[in-house]
Amino acid sequence: MDLPVVDLAPYLDAAACGGGGGGGGGPDRRAEEEVVALCAAVSGSLRDTGALLVKDPRCSAEDNDRFLDMMERYFERSEEFKRLQERPNLHYQVGVTPEGVEVPRSLVDEDMQEKIRTMPKEFQPYTPTGPDPKWRYMWRVGPRPTNTRFKELNSEPVIPEGFPEWRKTMDSWGSKMISAIEVVAEMAAIGFGLPKYAFTSLMKQGPHLLAPTGSDLQRHGSEGTVFAGFHYDLNFLTIHGRSRFPGLNIWLRNGQKMEVKVPVGCLLIQTGKQLEWLTGGECLAGMHEVVVTKRTLEAIDLAREQNRSLWRVSSTLFAHIASDAMLKPLGRFAESSHVNMYPPVCAGDYVEQELSVINLKGKTSGYSQALVGANKTMSFML
């Protein structure tokens, strides 16, 4: 089974003509029907696979390359240099996270480990043995709230010295990928029968993070090395541009494991836990891992031949629900039979308790521990 590729252009065209699939006088009937069908394809794929490939004419391969070139140069700098951008007191939500800090959920969550044991052998994820050996850089994109209870999640950016193009490159690629996510979020809302702005209105001033991972394939390039252990993303929707090295495996709702191939010019969208919450489990957060596979090894050989960087940089952006907004099942999803698993919670409180579990934030309060217990789903478990 291949993931569907949805071209966002017809929706963007219809929106520019005052249509946009949500009603309101589109240019012609056929175009409107096409848009409605695309919205259904978006919501259907997010529900059934937890993922989706999209083409957005506003996100070019050149933008993606400029970003990857700069991040390769950054990750190639010494550990000592990169640690100057480390901000553990801000829960690593800006600046760099060194290798060996972020813990994959499957390493610490006993329920998840139990569920993994019940999976057919061929679909089981690799077993991580410790924290992830990947670095990461977190760059906050878009307007920040002037008044928030969650200051650490909405902190000032960190810019490494010697990269004068940093802000422009990160903001430009980050805002383009957010624009793509916003369109997907509108289309998904329409496809689910919710008001068009049901999700995007909650995303306004969210702590969206351009969060590329950097993995040193020279040091950790043997087959089976787990760069990011089996986990779900705690945010709303994740978007990945192209990486120069493959290695991402995702799990479909039916439990099947799938190696992702992102065609040139496409972007990969994955469902996060906040979308699961807002849809009362109609969509489940997509489980995934990043591992050195045979295809990664082939890409390493080619990069060596062509004298290119051996840092695997991901083009990951985490789109979030605003920290001070409430997560709770929306519209018809409030009637879901699983609604008890998704008690109302402030998005910022939810994010902080998840960060605590994966070792990015200090202690966790009794309240948040209760929340961890309330929700222990995995993408193919409902």
Ligand X SMILES: O=C(O)CCC(=O)C(=O)O
Positions in the binding site for ligand X (CB under 6 A) = 213, 228, 233, 243, 248, 288, 290, 314, 316
Which residue is nearest to ligand X, using beta carbons? 314
Shortest gap between Cβ of 295 and ligand X (angstroms)? 13
Q: Which C-beta is closer to ligand X: that of 22 or that of 229?
A: 229
Shortest gap between Cβ of 288 and ligand X (angstroms)? 5
Shortest gap between Cβ of 174 and ligand X (angstroms)? 15
Q: Which C-beta is closer to Fe ion: that of 152 or that of 233?
A: 233
Q: Which C-beta is closer to ligand X: that of 196 or that of 273?
A: 273
Q: Which C-beta is closer to ligand X: that of 279 or that of 316?
A: 316
Which of Fe ion, ligand X, none lies near 243, with the C-beta cut-off 5 to 8 A by kind?
ligand X
Shortest gap between Cβ of 290 and ligand X (angstroms)? 4
Tell me if 282 contacts Fe ion by CB under 5 A: no
Q: Which two tokens stand for residue 131?
A: 């924290």
SS (H, E, C) the chain: CCCCEEECHHHHHHHHCCCCCCCCCCCCHHHHHHHHHHHHHHHHHHHHHCEEEEECCCCCHHHHHHHHHHHHHHHCCCHHHHHHHECHHHCCCCEEECCCCCCCHHHHCHHHHHHHHCCCHHHCCCCCCCCCCCEEEEEECCCCCCCCCCCHHHCCCCCCCCCCCHHHHHHHHHHHHHHHHHHHHHHHHHHCCCCCCCCHHHHCCCCCEECCEEEECCCCCCCCCEEEEEECCCCCEEEECCCCCCCEEEECCCCCEEECCCCCCCEEEEECHHHHHHCCCCCCCCCEEEECCHHHHHHHHHHHHCCCCCEEECCEEEECCCCCCEECCCHHHHHCCCHHHCCCEEHHHHHHHHHHHCCCCCCCCHHHHHHHHHCCCCCCCC
Q: Which C-beta is closer to ligand X: that of 38 or that of 249?
A: 249
Task: Identify which range of 186-194, 214-222, 225-233, 258-266 contacts Fe ion by CB under 5 A.
Answer: 225-233
Shortest gap between Cβ of 141 and Fe ion (angstroms)? 17
Shortest gap between Cβ of 15 and ligand X (angstroms)? 30
Which of Fe ion, ligand X, none lies near 309, with the C-beta cut-off 5 to 8 A by kind?
none
Q: Which C-beta is closer to ligand X: that of 35 or that of 267?
A: 267
Q: Which of residues 228-267 bind Fe ion (CB under 5 A)?
A: 233
Shortest gap between Cβ of 318 and Fe ion (angstroms)? 8
Which of Fe ion, ligand X, none lies near 213, with the C-beta cut-off 5 to 8 A by kind?
ligand X
- How many residues touch Fe ion under the rule CB under 5 A: the total is 1
Q: Which C-beta is closer to ligand X: that of 133 or that of 343?
A: 133
Q: What type of residue sits at position 105?
A: R
Which positions lie near Fe ion, rule CB under 5 A? 233
